[in-house]
Amino acid sequence: MKKFVPVLSIILAFSLSVNAQKKKTQDKEAIKEMCGCFEVTFNFTETFNYSNDSLYRPSETKVDKGLEYALAIEDEDNKISIQHLLQVGRPDDPMIIKHWRQDWLFQNQDFYMYNGDNNWTFEKKSKDDVKGQWTQKVYQVDDSPRYEGSGTWVHVDGKDYWENTTTAPLPRREYTKRNDYNITLRGNRHEITNFGWVHDQDNEKVVRVAGSEDVILAKEKGYNTYKRVDESRCQASKDWWKAQEGKWKLVRSKWNDVYGRDKDLTLEEKVDNKVLYKYLFDDEITAEKEINSIIESFVK
C-alpha cells in the first residue's frame, strides 16, 4: 500500500496547482474588468462623528460625475497596471487629466504603509502572509505613493470582489479644507458588476500622534460607480495617452528606483513653493534627466 502514497501525493499536488492557476486566471480577468471607458459617479458623505468639540462641522456630502478611461499599461503574469484618465469639458473638445493609477501585484511582499505627515513606512511581509493574495498599490496623479494593501479576490455566488483596509493620506477633497485629522483608514471593496464595477468604501478619519493611540474623529461612506459606456466616447483620452505615455514611463521608472530602495520614504509637500504634480504636468518637462532631478528633489 505504501508504494501508492507518492503517486497520490503527486496527483494531489498537481490538482492543487491546477486549481491555484485557475483561481489566479479568474483574479486577473476580474482586475482587467476595471479597464475601459466609464461614466463615473463619486459619492462621499460623513456618517458619524466622535468629536468632543461642540463647534465640530462635518464635511459636506460630495457628489461628482465624470467620464474616465482606464487602460492596462502593463499586463504581466504577476502584475497588472491600470492608468486612469479623466475626460472633462465639451465632448467635441475635451480636456484630459492624468488621474490615479492602480498596480495589482500577485503575492507581493514589499509595502509602503502611510504613517501620516507625508511619510510611508517600508514593511516586508512573509510569503505566508500574502499567499494567493493580490496587492493593490494606488498612486497619486504624479505617480508618487498614496496607499496600498493586500487581499484575496473572492469569486462566490456570482460575485467577484476584493477587500482591504489600509492607511492613506487625506483625499484632495479633504486636505484642502480639513487639518483636524491626518490619516484616512480606508476600507476598500472593489466589486465587478453587470454594468462595470463599484469602489465601495468605509473610511475612518483618524488623528495619529506618535506615542499615542489613534483617535477616530469621524466615519465616512464612499460609493463610486463605474458604468461602462461605448469605447468611442474615450477616444480623446486614448489619443492623449498615446502622445504622453513615453514621458510617464520615464516618471514611473524613476519612482521604481525610489521604491526599490526598500526604506522608509518621506516626501516634501512643496519644493520652491510648488507641488510635484505641477512640475510634472508641465508640457515642457519631458527629458529623463530633468524628470529624475525633479522627483529626487521631493525625496527627503
Q: Residue 6 is inside which H or E element, if any?
A: helix 5-32
The pLDDT value recorded for residue 18 is: 74
110-137 pLDDT per residue, tens: 999 999 999 999 999 999 999 999 999 9
Q: Is 296 left (phi over 0), alpha (psi -120 to 50) or beta?
A: alpha
Helix (H, G, I), strand (E, B) or coil at 4: helix
CB environment 61-84: b (16+ within 10 A), e (fewer): eeeeeebbbbbebeeeeebbbbbb
Strands 119-124 and 265-266 turn out to be: antiparallel
End-to-end CA distance of the chain: 65
251-274 pLDDT per residue, tens: 999 999 999 999 999 999 999 999
Q: Crossing angle, helix 235-259 and helix 288-298, to 10 degrees?
A: 60
Residue with cell 462595470: 196
8-43 pLDDT per residue, tens: 677 766 666 678 899 999 999 999 999 999 999 999
The pLDDT value recorded for residue 264 is: 98
Q: Is 89 left (phi over 0), alpha (psi -120 to 50) or beta?
A: left
The pLDDT value recorded for residue 10 is: 72
